[in-house]
Chains A and B, each alone.
Chain A
Amino acid sequence: EPEVTQTPSHQVTQMGQEVILRCVPISNHLYFYWYRQILGQKVEFLVSFYNNEISEKSEIFDDQFSVERPDGSNFTLKIRSTKLEDSAMYFCASSEGPITYEQYFGPGTRLTVT
């Protein structure tokens, strides 16, 4: 069964550094998403991406964050100048279509900022 994959599974970085989290969505999916979960809290939406542009973003997704689909298979989340409060689990998801379509989640990348 096709699945969403994410790399790395765990990333440790120092405050102020840039990180890139990588995702490979399911191949025939057109909509891509990033979510974040701070330890012990619920999962929060960050951004959705379709047709090479952001379709929606939350108030969390400020200028520190950016997303890109650099080729036909990868979908990346870049965090510039990381802060301690960026420590969280980051989930990538993809779907065939919007709104009424099932979203498939990857296993997550645990980001630790020290």
Chain B
Amino acid sequence: GIQVEQSPPDLILQEGANSTLRCNFSDSVNNLQWFHQNPWGQLINLFYIPSGTKQNGRLSATTVATERYSLLYISSSQTTDSGVYFCAVVWGTYKYIFGTGTRLKVLA
């Protein structure tokens, strides 16, 4: 089956710093989303981005489907950005296959 790997697995930042999170997938995909899981466990949808680039405030994402990766950029990080970031892909059928996650901690 498809492998969805995220890097880095853990990241600690000072407030105000920028970061790039990466999602690599081992096969062509039909869909890709980025999620933020907050400390209460809720999954917050960040981007629906099967290809191209999108921006929403301090966050932006780029997916290069032909090269099988996606990047999530966080600029001017805030403590509320802390949590786990997942990418998820649809491969072949209906279901999302989630990546391994990047655990981000932003220090004040």
| Residues of B contacting A44 in the complex (Cβ-Cβ under 8 angstroms) | 98
Interface centre among B35, B45, B48, B96 (most CB of A within 10 A): B96
The residue in chain A whose Cβ has the minimal distance to the Cβ of B31 is A100
- 7 closest A-B pairs by beta carbon, nearest first, are A45-B95, A102-B48, A48-B94, A43-B98, A105-B43, A107-B42, A42-B98
B21 interface contact, C-beta 8 A? no
In contact, A99 and B41 (Cβ under 8 angstroms): no
Q: Which of B41, B93, B97 contacts A110, CB < 8 Å?
A: B41
Count how many chain A residues have C-beta atoms less than 8 Å from C-beta atoms of the other chain.
27
Given A55-B94, A102-B48, A104-B45, also A42-B86 (CB < 8 A): yes
| Residues of A contacting B41 in the complex (Cβ-Cβ under 8 angstroms) | 37, 89, 108, 110
Q: Which of B35, B43, B97, B100 contacts A45, CB < 8 Å?
A: B97
Interface string of A48-72 (1 = CB under 8 A from B): 1010000110100000000000000
Name 17 extra pairs, CB < 8 A, besides A42-B99, A45-B96, A101-B31: A31-B94, A37-B41, A42-B98, A44-B98, A45-B97, A48-B93, A48-B94, A48-B95, A55-B94, A56-B93, A58-B95, A89-B41, A99-B90, A102-B31, A102-B48, A103-B96, A105-B35
Interface string of B69-108 (1 = CB under 8 A from A): 0000000000000000010101001111111110000000
Q: How large is the interface on B (under 10, 10 to 19, 20 to 34, 35 or more residues)?
A: 20 to 34
A71 CB to closest chain B CB (Å) equals: 23
| Residues of A contacting B31 in the complex (Cβ-Cβ under 8 angstroms) | 99-102
14 A-B pairs within 8 Å (CB atoms) are namely A31-B94, A33-B94, A35-B96, A42-B86, A42-B101, A43-B43, A48-B93, A48-B95, A98-B94, A101-B31, A102-B45, A103-B33, A105-B45, A108-B41
| Residues of A contacting B88 in the complex (Cβ-Cβ under 8 angstroms) | 43
